[in-house]
């Protein structure tokens, strides 16, 4: 510890001055008696725990950059595919097939026969007035018809009276929710 002091005294030819040597040692001891506590910033730098945090930040940035590159590649690929007429026609065929499969209840089929087409007429009541569909008569139920036909009562016979005419009165069905039944 006192090497520098003794060295300095030797440099100046004062090695034999014990009082001066003790004075310098006392000065050093007094000047360095306080050990400062590291501030928060300094303590963070002294701690190895700072490193994983930095690594996580770098890894997050890498994930973002990788995601952007993947999205960019997908965009370029989609643009190139859209520019090709072969790909367009194949895509249209595929889309049509998917629509057919979904619309036919899971089984790929040819166009719907005329006999199974939805009947857009309501079922007539006993009084002859057209009735409105019950809650169970929702479009497309029961016969696997293609969606988009909004005709209720698809299970009604095709020879029902009043076929082709819309309901005369929009009075709700007795079984319709939210309405009281009037016998």
Partner 1 sequence: MRSSDIASTPARREVESLGSDAENSDGDALAERFSAAYRQLSPRVLGYLRLHGVDDPEAVTQDVFLALFSRLPAVVGDEEGVRTLTFSIAHARIVDHHRARTRKPTLVPFEPEADPRHAASAEEVHAMGQQSTLALLHRLGDDQREALTLRVVAELSLDETAQVMGRSVGAVKQLQRRALETLRAIVSAEVAHE
Note the residues at the interface with partner 1 (CB under 8 A): 1, 3-5, 7-9, 11-12, 14, 17, 19-20, 23-24, 26-28, 30-36, 38-39, 41-42, 45-48, 50-51, 54-55, 57-58
Nearer to partner 1, 40 or 181 (CB): 40
Nearest CA among 101, 97, 95 for reference residue 144:
101
Q: Which is nearer to partner 1, 9 or 119 (CB)?
A: 9
Decide whether 42 or 101 has the Cβ nearer to partner 1.
42
Least Å distance between CB 57 and partner 1? 7
Least gap, CB of 70 to partner 1 (angstroms): 23
3-state secondary structure labels for all residues of the chain: CCHHHHHHHHHCCCCCCHHHHHHHHHHHHHHCCCCCCCCHHHHHHHCCCHHHHHHHHHHHHHHHHHHHHHHHHHHHHHHHHHHCHHHHHHHHHHHHHHHHHHHCCCCCCCCCCHHHCCCCCCCECCCCCECCCCCCCCCCCCCCCCCCCCCCCCCCCCCCCCCCCCCCCCCCCCCCCCCCCCC
How long a stretch of residues is the chain?
Answer: 183
Residue 130 backbone dihedrals phi, psi, to 5 degrees: -65, 145
- Give the separation between CA 181 and CA 103, rounded to whole angstroms: 36
Give the nearer residue to partner 1 in terms of CB position, either 23 or 101: 23
Cβ 66 to partner 1, closest distance in Å? 16
Query: At its nearest, how many Å lie between partner 1 and the CB of residue 69?
Result: 20
- Least Å distance, CB 86 to partner 1, is 47
Task: Output 2 or 165, the one with its CB closest to partner 1.
Answer: 2
Query: Shortest gap between Cβ of 34 and partner 1 (angstroms)?
Result: 6
Closest CB to partner 1 among 20 and 151? 20
């Amino acid at each position: 510890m006192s090497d520098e002091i003794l060295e300095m005294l030797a440099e100046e030819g004062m090695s034999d001055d014990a009082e001066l040597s003790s004075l310098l040692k006392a000065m050093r001891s007094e000047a360095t008696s306080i050990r400062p506590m590291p501030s928060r910033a300094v303590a963070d730098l002294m701690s190895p725990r700072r490193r994983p945090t930095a690594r996580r930040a770098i890894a997050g940035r890498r994930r973002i950059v990788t995601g952007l590159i993947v999205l960019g590649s997908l965009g370029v690929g989609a643009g190139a595919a859209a520019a090709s007429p072969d790909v367009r026609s194949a895509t249209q065929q595929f889309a049509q097939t998917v629509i057919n499969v979904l619309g036919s209840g899971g089984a790929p089929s040819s166009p719907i026969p005329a006999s199974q087409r939805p009947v857009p007429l309501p079922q007539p009541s006993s009084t002859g007035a057209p009735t409105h569909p019950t809650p169970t008569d929702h479009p497309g139920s029961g016969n696997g018809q293609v969606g988009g036909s909004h005709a209720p009562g698809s299970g009604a016979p095709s020879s029902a009276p009043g076929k082709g005419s819309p309901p005369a009165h929009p009075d709700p069905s007795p079984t319709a929710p939210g309405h009281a039944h009037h016998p």
